[in-house]
Amino acid sequence: MLRSGRIDVGRLFGITVGFDLSWLIIAALVTYSLATGVFADPDKLPGASDSLRWLLGGVGAVCLFTSVLFHEFAHALAARQYGVGTRRITLFLFGGVAELDDEPPTPLAEFVIALAGPAASLVAALISFAVARVAGSMAGSEPLVVAMVWVAQINLMLALFNLVPAFPLDGGRVLRSILWWWRKDLLSATRISSAIGQGFAFILLGLGILRILASGSITDGVWLCLIGMFIRNAARSAYREVAWRQLLAGEPVSQFMRRDPVVVPRHISIEELMSSYVQPHRLSSFPVVDDRRLLGVVNARLAAQTPRIEWDRQSVGTLTEPCSTTNTVAPETDALEAFGRMRRGRQPRLLVVEGEDLVGTLTLADLLKGLSPRPS
């Protein structure tokens, strides 16, 4: 299934697995570089045909996909042991990410979850080296040997790079867990490790620019710069999210909710819905009410897909979908819980309900606005 540039390929251990379309760039580059480089070396594969080299290149890209996936699943399964779920694992241009539902509950949990990925990659490297060694004693196994050595090297590099103590790399998360244990303050630990991560990012940016200017290696230089910018942005975002969580914890949803939401009466026609609500407000859905009593929600896209001839004939009530615990919340609910619910369920907006009455709506923007400093 294709969603916003992301393709879901299935579920494993209850976790959705997918890849961003940017991953296809890496797959193509890996296939090309292996077919024209590693597997084109006559000393390693003498007499290899073009078709064999390209086949091995494609197999190498699949092995890279599998290696990164194995690394991320190690994080996810370790997190599960500490009660932290994983929404999905996504592979993208710079590797992969396991989207955890929440921060690890303790420094020890953070430490174990962070090290699980590099440990898995090291195990994969050892297994690949062992397979290559066994295959080396068999006649005609040169392609397998070369491929397995490359897979082992990739997993070793994956483990070592992620162990760099620069947040949000795994090594940076290990550092954060130690600082968290020492200082007894997650926000402070995140601030320090995030600053180190941003410093490492600037080093990569500098090396990339230097490589471009000094050696003219534009591809390598641009790649280092891109990785540096990604790490810097990820480190800053991670710190902001932890800060938001700390500020939201213990605060009720009622403090942040919008008390005058745009609502739709159930009796109006789809024509009036589209002209008087969807076009001026540009929202993806609207609460449907009878007086103040919440009846459900109407999806703007579903309404737009209704045959045009039916717009005057059908009322909004015919398209109303019932509400559930995934898109409703009580005013006294902890804002941090609501924040997590929006992220886990990918809900852009929650309806705040008291009894059967709609008393407000809540979005991530409302939460952030509520946390912004107010003029004195």
Nearest of 371, 90, 133 to residue 245 by alpha carbon: 371
Tens of pLDDT, residue by residue over 158-211, are 899 899 888 888 999 999 999 999 998 888 898 899 999 999 989 988 888 888
Establish whether 272 is a catalytic residue.
Answer: no
> 2 or 349: which carries more pLDDT confidence?
349
Tens of pLDDT, residue by residue over 267-298, are 888 888 888 888 888 888 888 888 778 888 88
What's the average model confidence in pLDDT over 34-44? Answer: 72
Q: Per the residue annotation, which of 72, 99, 321, 332 is the catalytic one?
A: 72
Sequence-distant (≥ 6) Cβ neighbours of residue 24 within 8 angstroms: none
* Domain spans, the chain: 2-248, 253-371
Report the chain's terminal Cα–Cα distance, integer Å: 49
Quote the CA–CA distance of 1 and 4 in Å, as a whole number: 10
The residue count of the chain comes to 376
Residue 256, Cβ density class (10 Å: 0-12 exposed, 13-18 middle, ≥19 buried): buried
φ/ψ of 241, rounded to 5, equals -65, -40
Quote the CA–CA distance of 61 and 27 in Å, as a whole number: 5
pLDDT category at 54 given cuts 50, 70, 90 is confident
Quote the CA–CA distance of 238 and 191 in Å, as a whole number: 9
Give the range among 88-97, 158-167, 260-269, 347-356 with minimum mean pLDDT: 88-97
Quote the CA–CA distance of 261 and 133 in Å, as a whole number: 66
pLDDT category at 374 given cuts 50, 70, 90 is very low
Nearest of 205, 127, 111 to residue 165 by alpha carbon: 111
Q: Average pLDDT of the chain? A: 83
Class (C level, CATH) for 253-371: alpha beta
Reply yes or no on whether the pLDDT at 232 is more than 50: yes
- Amino acid identity of 32? Y
Residue 20: how many CA atoms within 13 Å on its side-chain side? Answer: 13
Tens of pLDDT, residue by residue over 14-36, are 888 888 777 777 778 778 877 77
- E-only strand ranges, the chain: 2-3, 6-12, 15-20, 86-92, 95-100, 264-265, 285-290, 293-299, 328-329, 349-354, 357-363
User: What are the distances in angstroms from CA 33 to CA 38, 60, 91, 220?
Assistant: 7, 10, 20, 13
